[in-house]
Amino acid sequence: MMERVGLVWNWLTEAKGKLSTSWRSWSQTRFVQSFAEAWAWGFMVLIRPVPTLQKVAEEKPILPALWLTILQGFSLAIGTRYAVEHEGFVLSWLIKNLPSWWLVVFYAFVFPPSIWFVKAALLNLVAELLGGPPRGLSLLSTTAIACSPLLLVLPVAIIAVALAEPDLNTGFISHLWFVFAIGVHAWWVALTLIAIRETYKFTVGQALLTMLLPSVLGLPLAYIIYRVLSVVA
């Protein structure tokens, strides 16, 4: 009997040692370390935006930036939809009108990374046309880190719904949520402006022009595409 107990004990000890070794090896991989770095970058940009984005532009932490893009997309999509279901004000028309939670989750993990690449490519093209150096990877990193305020959407939505009576369309909490919903997007836009400025060493005016030109040129193009599709359909 004691021999069997000893064998089982030795087997459990060996299994524990193997699991511990595997865990240490896995936790030291670049994949896991980049996840921790993503949270560090996200926290630092909220309290020290300019020096943090300067450092990001130089170091180009692409993998942590990708993590942050996925995390902020999840927070924005799930938090926004949760607020919508409790009558809260939201700015995202698309997330608000998605027909199911499955599509919200799909949006959260697919659209933000895709939009991130396209947005960075357009902004880099405009910045180069305005005389900036070719710094696509730097801009890819800084614009992702600049999205960090959106990480707050989900936790704030959960807290707001918990405190609201009965929903987010009435009472003092509804006013606070409205201010937050506007403010968090304004914060994100401001950080993106700083990201462009620090990436290309632009003036504020040049950075603002870099941000606005794709929208000014893109809206008429989007309208033309919409009209063509309407006629074809």
How is the chain split into domains, by residue range?
62-223
Structure confidence at residue 23 (pLDDT) = 43
Structure confidence at residue 164 (pLDDT) = 85
Residue pair 149/187 in contact by the 8 Å Cβ criterion: yes
Rounded Cα distance, 156 and 89, in Å: 13
* 66: nearest Cα among 43, 44, 34: 34
Tell me the two tokens of residue 86.
């409790």
Rounded Cα distance, 111 and 107, in Å: 5
Q: For 14-51, how does the pLDDT look when each residue is reduced to its tens digit (9 = 90+)?
A: 555 545 554 455 445 666 788 889 999 999 999 999 99
Per run of 10 residues, the mean pLDDT along the chain (length 233 residues) is 53 54 51 85 94 95 93 94 89 84 89 90 92 92 95 94 84 91 94 95 93 78 63 58
Share of the chain above pLDDT 70, in %: 79
Tell me the two tokens of residue 69.
């893009």
Q: For 62-75, how does the pLDDT look when each residue is reduced to its tens digit (9 = 90+)?
A: 999 999 999 999 99
Burial class (CB in 10 A: 0-12, 13-18, 19+), 63: middle
Q: Which long-range contacts (CB under 8 A, 24 or more apart) does 214-222 make?
A: 214/119, 214/122, 214/123, 214/126
Residue at token pair 């909220």:
46
Rounded Cα distance, 10 and 14, in Å: 6
Residue pair 189/91 in contact by the 8 Å Cβ criterion: no
Residue at token pair 């865990």:
23
Burial class (CB in 10 A: 0-12, 13-18, 19+), 227: exposed
Record the pTM.
0.80
Could you please report the per-residue DSSP string of 57-125?
HHH--HHHHHHHHHHHHHHHHHHHHHHHTTT---S-HHHHH-SSHHHHHHHHHHHHHHHHHHHHHHHHH
Structure confidence at residue 222 (pLDDT) = 61
* 76: nearest Cα among 3, 7, 152, 17: 152
